[in-house]
Amino acid sequence: MTKLILIGPLLDSDQSYQFEEKVIFVDGGINFKDRIQYQDFDSIGDQDSTQESLNITLDKKKDRSDLFHALELAKDHPNIQELDLHGFVGQRLDHQFFNIGEAYQALNNSSSLRKINFYKNKSKVITIFNKGENTLDFHGQFSISSLNPCSIKLEGDIKYRGTRQLLPLSSQGLSNIAYGKFSISSDQPLIFFYTT
């Protein structure tokens, strides 16, 4: 197993999902269990967005989010290279921002994890890539950012190529355009926003 699926409380309730991978339901994500086909599951949270029972119940007075604890639980699965997060973006901007931060830190602290994808309504909207070279095949507009100062190199079928220093959360990586295959190399994890 090289991929895990995490289901959060903001999942689109009008759609059904089918996964071949193990699913971790994060707090209110368990409310969508009947809409999801999966191989195996686990569940974790403080039950502030569900009345359903969870495999691991956290204290409501904790100082980290349910997603942080779910990412820690994901680390217990050896050889995981990719996480797909459904139901973690789309409402409160502060929650979304901190979810990105927790995913970034989890990736930065992992030796095996290569990327974490955030989905909204089954569409990939954000990918956080671990440091190193990452190859994509994508047509459309994108932006890149980092939470740490980093060196990046952009090559391939994109509008703006080259090597540069990227400042944390700066507009330096705003609005590039991809026309097909390209690569991004970096010495720190990168946040890739699919903007079209």
Q: For 152-156, which contacts have Cβ atoms below 8 Å and span 24 or more sequence positions? A: 152/184, 152/185, 152/186, 152/190, 153/183, 153/184, 153/185, 153/186, 154/182, 154/183, 154/184, 155/182, 155/183, 155/185, 156/180, 156/181, 156/182, 156/183
What does the chain come to in residues? 196
Quick: pLDDT tens for 142-158.
999 999 999 999 999 99
Quick: pLDDT tens for 153-180.
999 999 999 999 999 999 999 999 999 9
- Among the residue ranges 49-53, 127-131, 132-136, 137-141, the one predicted with the least confidence is 49-53
The domains found in the chain, sorted by start residue, are 3-128 (3.40.50.10240), 132-188 (no CATH)
> Mean per-residue pLDDT for 84-97?
92
Q: pTM of the prediction?
A: 0.94
Q: If you average pLDDT over every residue of the chain, what do you get?
A: 93
Q: Does residue 1 surpass a pLDDT of 80?
A: no
